[in-house]
Chain A
Amino acid sequence: DAMVIQNPRYQVTQFGKPVTLSCSQTLNHNVMYWYQQKSSQAPKLLFHYYDKDFNNEADTPDNFQSRRPNTSFCFLDIRSPGLGDAAMYLCATSRVGLGMNTEAFFGQGTRLTVV
């Protein structure tokens, strides 16, 4: 059973047209992450939520925003996609707490194409 679910698996959007990617989890993990991965590159962390606390990476463009309305769901909003934003977007979760630090579990990713 899928534990981290991303929708859609494939997304085609027009240059400059806002797009939202979604992620849900059934693991009840308190931390959710969004990564961007381009071909032959390492996944690059965009931001993460620790519970409700949003943590942006210093080099994440303002074009990328995120929302986490509850524990289970997290959204990635790209306000004005450019051609350079075409990539695989990976959502991940982990459980973090006192004496506990599990590995990250990934969704299947959303492959974004910008035309």
Chain B
Amino acid sequence: RKEVEQDPGPFNVPEGATVAFNCTYSNSASQSFFWYRQDCRKEPKLLMSVYSSGNEDGRFTAQLNRASQYISLLIRDSKLSDSATYLCVVNRGSYIPTFGRGTSLIVHP
């Protein structure tokens, strides 16, 4: 089983739609979780950290379910500029970022 698993998509949605991505992880001892965004041929950039209580940043909401070892990212009111690959990251041990393969999002007019 891979350490971090994501549905690669692509998710193809119209502007204004709400879209949700999921991610599962295998190590129940993991403590830190993140969502990164990666544009084509660019480096990953932190979108948001994921906290146990859930957290929101504008149109983006991240949630963590430790019992199910599951992380989600919700994007509301999708913009064309949200088109990218969204990478789920779970720290191995206390600090080593381990990546899922990413979920591709395409927002169309």
Contact = CB atoms under 8 A, between A and B. Distances in A.
Nearest to A50: B95
Interface residues of B, number: 24
Nearest to B44: A106
Contacts of A41: 101
B34 interface: yes
B96 A90 contact: no
A19 interface: no
B54 interface: no
Given A45-B96, A103-B34, A111 B101 contact: no
B94 interface: yes
A101 B94 contact: yes
Contacts of B94: 96, 101
Report whether over half of chain A's contact residues are helix, strand or loop; otherwise say mixed: strand
A90 B97 CA distance: 13
B42 A42 contact: no
A108 B44 CA distance: 8
A31 B95 contact: yes
B38 to A, nearest CB: 9
A50 to B, nearest CB: 8
13 contacts: A40-B8, A42-B99, A43-B99, A90-B44, A92-B97, A96-B95, A103-B34, A103-B49, A104-B89, A105-B46, A106-B43, A107-B43, A111-B41
Interface of B: 4, 8, 31-32, 34, 41-46, 49, 87, 89, 91, 94-102
